[in-house]
Amino acid sequence: MDLIERARLFSGEQNPKECTCRHQLAGTGVFYQSVGLIQCATCKGWQLIRKPIDV
């Protein structure tokens, strides 16, 4: 499943925007570990989590 489809299913947005901002581990967006997505605090777009936290 690609990023846009995953963001659409999770958020309910019709046309989710892809984020190209660089994200750190804190303060740059909301991390949704369960679905592997970040919602950017700056552009409100979506990005895949590159380094998910292992539990």
pTM exceeds 0.85, yes or no: no
Domain boundary assignment for the chain: 3-48
CA dist., res. 24 & res. 29, Å (int): 9
**pLDDT tens track, the chain, 55 positions:** 799 999 999 999 999 999 988 877 677 888 898 899 999 999 999 999 887 666 6
